[in-house]
Amino acid sequence: MLTVTALARECGTTPHTVRYYSRLGLLRERRHPDNEYRLFDQAEEARLRFILQARELGYSLKEIRAILEDADRGDSPCPRVRRILQEHIETNRQRIAALMRLQARMEAALETWAGLPDGVPDGHSVCHLIESFETEDDDQSTLPNHPTERRTSWMS
């Protein structure tokens, strides 16, 4: 049986992580009868290694919980694992494409601004550089975690 610290050391993580996963019910602990220390057997060590590997592949703790529940019921979690990973791959492709568009806009803005003078806020303008910059792709809703508000120009 391993203590929290020993399990963490064996798996290359922190005691805090072990305690957190235990609180979430992802790890099943036993308590030492004399001192109430949390104890984990080899099966829980393997389970923690699985959780850490799944996290490295981008699975959320909610997804990992569902995968573990499938396994605990004796059902193959592999179909779920494949489906979730395919969804993550598609989401990542969309994010990468959005970030590439953002990078191109940022580079275009910096190039455009290179020869422009600095401005001073005048009550109608905060920074004329940003306010005057327009792009062909003016739809920000494609950016991950970005408000869907459209840009407005204060300078006409």
Residue 44: domain span: 2-75
Residue 152 backbone zone (phi > 0: left; psi -120 to 50: alpha; other: beta): beta
- Domain co-membership, 9 together with 66: yes
In this prediction, the residues of the chain whose per-residue pLDDT falls under 50 are 141-142, 147-156
Q: What is the strand order of the sheet 30-31 is part of?
A: 2-3, 38-40, 30-31
Report yes or no on 156 lying in a domain: no
- Could you report the per-residue pLDDT of 133-148, keeping only the tens digit for each? 876 655 554 455 554 4
Question: Final residue of a domain: which of 75, 101, 126?
Answer: 75
Query: What does the alpha-carbon distance between residue 25 and residue 83 come to, in Å, rounded to a whole number?
Result: 24
- Domain co-membership, 68 together with 113: no
Query: What does the alpha-carbon distance between residue 44 and residue 7 come to, in Å, rounded to a whole number?
Result: 9
Query: What does the alpha-carbon distance between residue 72 and residue 25 come to, in Å, rounded to a whole number?
Result: 13
- Could you report the per-residue pLDDT of 87-116, keeping only the tens digit for each? 999 999 999 999 999 999 999 999 989 988
- Domain co-membership, 66 together with 98: no
Provide the whole-model pTM: 0.72
Report yes or no on 43 lying in a domain: yes
Question: Final residue of a domain: which of 26, 43, 75?
Answer: 75
Report yes or no on 80 lying in a domain: no
